[in-house]
Structure 1
Amino acid sequence: MGFIGSVFSPWYAASGRRDPQNHCCLNVATYGPGGRFTMTDRGRSALRQTTDTLTVGPSRMHWTGRHLVIDIDEIGALPLVTPVRGRITLTPQAVTDAEVALHPNHIWRPFAPIARIDVDLTQGHRWQGHGYFDANFGTAALEADFDFWTWGRYPTQNGAQCFYDATRRDGSTLALGIEIDHAGKVREIAAPPLTRFKRSLWQVKRETRADAGTLPQQRLNMLDAPFYSRSLVQTRLNGEVTTGVHEALDLTRFRSPLVKSMLAVRVPRRAKWTQDRP
């Protein structure tokens, strides 16, 4: 993930979030043997932007017109402080023009909900498979406007379905379901019931959409934090069993100063960068 204004950075929060360009990063998370996590908070001098390229320090994302090419040159966070290098190439099957307001201050753009991905990283993570690309834009801190949200993206025979469910701080709720076909056409759908399933290792509440009588199940724990869970989850949607990526974000917990201080261990700050490398 590329961030301008690193929303989970304790350094950005401590700065008052007045200068997002001074808190940018490229976040990489891999799983299984050799798994690494990188989220270095970099200063303004590390950031370069053009119409088709985002460069953050030694790493960059570049849109060729057909492929999103992500060149990674980062250092893993504690406890495995080692280089994380390589290339990820994402090829959208179609690019959508969908834009959804999650809140007056927050926009979600599912650019390429159906894509192919080619991963080649130094830790032995080399594979090809199903991919996804989206973006979020905001003018306020997430924890200022939300208490909790879950997101899920599930491949289906017709394309993919995405669900956003959230509780805003003003007490209102979001319950969004969309379906994207293989041509990139997006339509809003009536979502199956919102169904709770087993909490994460850090006891973050989790729920997603599932047909009545179906209990979603975690198939792979991908990232687990005191306020956040990412996992592969199996559910049933309109009679079709599918496994997709699911996220749960507890922003009430994230507002805690203790949690932000814990994050400083995993999110180092590198304020200076000289753009003199190739």
Structure 2
Amino acid sequence: MFSPYYAARRRQLGAALAPAEAHCAVNLSLYRIGPQPGRVRRHWCMTERSERALRRDMHSLSIGPSRLRWQGPDLLVDLDELSVPWPRRLRGQLCLMPSIGPGREFDLDAAGRHRWQPIAPQARLMLDLKEPALRWQGDAYLDHNRGERPLADDFAHWQWQREQGADGQPSRIDYLTQPRDGPARALHLAVTRDGRLHAQPTPAARPLPHTAWGIARTGHGPDALALAGTLESGPFYARSLLQSDNGRLAVHESLSLDRFDRPWVQAMLPFRMPRRG
């Protein structure tokens, strides 16, 4: 949905004649927090491919040399990609093991053109990479977005946050969107261990520092939040790690679709998202 090539095709032919299948990619973002505060090592890949590289059925999805497939209740991801901007092979496997089943779908806009669903609101993940040699396991989460129109047509910006529960406590998900037409919309959910999603009162807004690109960030939660690290900082998108006073960690995303649509941003994106025909 953030492909500059797809955006150019839509401008050229119109959205109805620009097939999404011709602009597909597997995106891996891998971070290692260093011993120094704020120091993050990153691996990133997002190579776009044409419809000739796309193969899919009810149980699997292959894009180029990488493949996602269900094996019983678990999702296996076989990766074989190249990182950017410095080429380095990222090869290995992820195994996501849902602890609970899918949650319900939610409308993100009043017209119901855009939908969001937490497929596995509680899960475990095992990472086994051969290149580079990395192994890790921990808590995980899987969700799904789909829409009938480009995001930039219907939204100005949004913020998303997920805080992992600890010691049997519910996880929290906060999803705030600003449609181009109408008032802001917000979802504040608690995810219990049995997979139920419970609407929560609106928590206090916790202002955070803007990114180096000037992207606004606002956290939400009952406790004070501090910025533990900026994982991604780009001209239209930021991914951050937050920590509350009680020590719980949260992943936070901030997206400016006004900024995404600007020509100078579109011209920069191929450096992070190359395309292979």
Contact 1:209-1:235 within 8 A present in 2 as well = no
Please tell me the root mean square deviation across aligned C-alpha atoms, in Å: 1.5
DSSP 3-state at the match of 2:31: coil
* Alpha-carbon distance in 2 for matches of 1:254, 1:67: 34
> For 1:39, what is the secondary structure of its paired residue?
strand
SS at match of 1:15: helix
- Structure-1 separation of matches of 2:19 and 2:73: 32
- Name the structure 2 match of 1:229: 238
Q: Which residue of 1 aligns with 2:225?
A: 216
Matching residue's letter, 1:97: G
Within 5 A, what are the aligned runs for 1:150-229? 150-156=159-165, 157-211=168-222, 214-229=223-238
User: Could you tell me the percent identity over the aligned residues?
Assistant: 34
The superposition leaves residues 148-195 of structure 1 with CA deviations (integer Å, 9 ceiling, x where unpaired) of 100011122423110001111114211111111111111211131222
CA distance in 2, matches of 1:12, 1:112: 29
1:168 maps to a residue whose letter is P
Unpaired segments ≥5 residues, structure 2? 33-39
SS of 2:175's equivalent in the other structure is strand
Is residue 111 from structure 1 mapped to residue 111 from structure 2 by the alignment? Answer: no
Shift of 1:34: 6.1
Letter in 1 for 2:4: P
TM-score by length of 1: 0.89
Number of aligned residue pairs: 259
TM-score normalized with structure 2 length: 0.89
Note closer, same or farther for the CA distance 1:112–1:251 as it changes in structure 2 (3 Å cut): same
Question: What is the aligned partner in structure 2 of residue 130 from structure 1?
Answer: 139
Equivalent in the alignment of 1:67: 74
| 1:243 partnered with 2:246 | no
Q: Of residues 1, 11, 26 in structure 1, which corresponds to 2:5?
A: 11
Judge conservation of contact 2:154–2:179 (CA < 8 Å) in 1: yes
Amino acid of the residue matched to residue 170 of structure 1?
D
How far apart are residue 241 of structure 1 and its match? 4.8
Name the SS of the counterpart of 2:215 in structure 1: coil
Which string of whole-angstrom CA distances, capped at 9 and with x for unpartnered residues, describes residues 96-145 of structure 1?
23100102211001011211111122223311111110010011111111
Q: In the alignment, which residue of structure 2 is the partner of 1:97?
A: 103
| Cα distance in structure 1, aligned partners of 2:150 and 2:237 | 16
CA distance in 1, matches of 2:251, 2:61: 25
1:274 aligns to what? none
Aligned to 1:47: 54
Kindly indicate whether the alpha-carbon contact (under 8 Å) linking 1:96 and 1:185 is maintained by their aligned counterparts in 2.
no
**In 1: Cα distance, 2:19 partner to 2:65 partner:** 21
Distance 1:234 1:191 in 2: 19
Greater RCO, 1 or 2 (C-alpha within 8 Å, sep 6+): 1
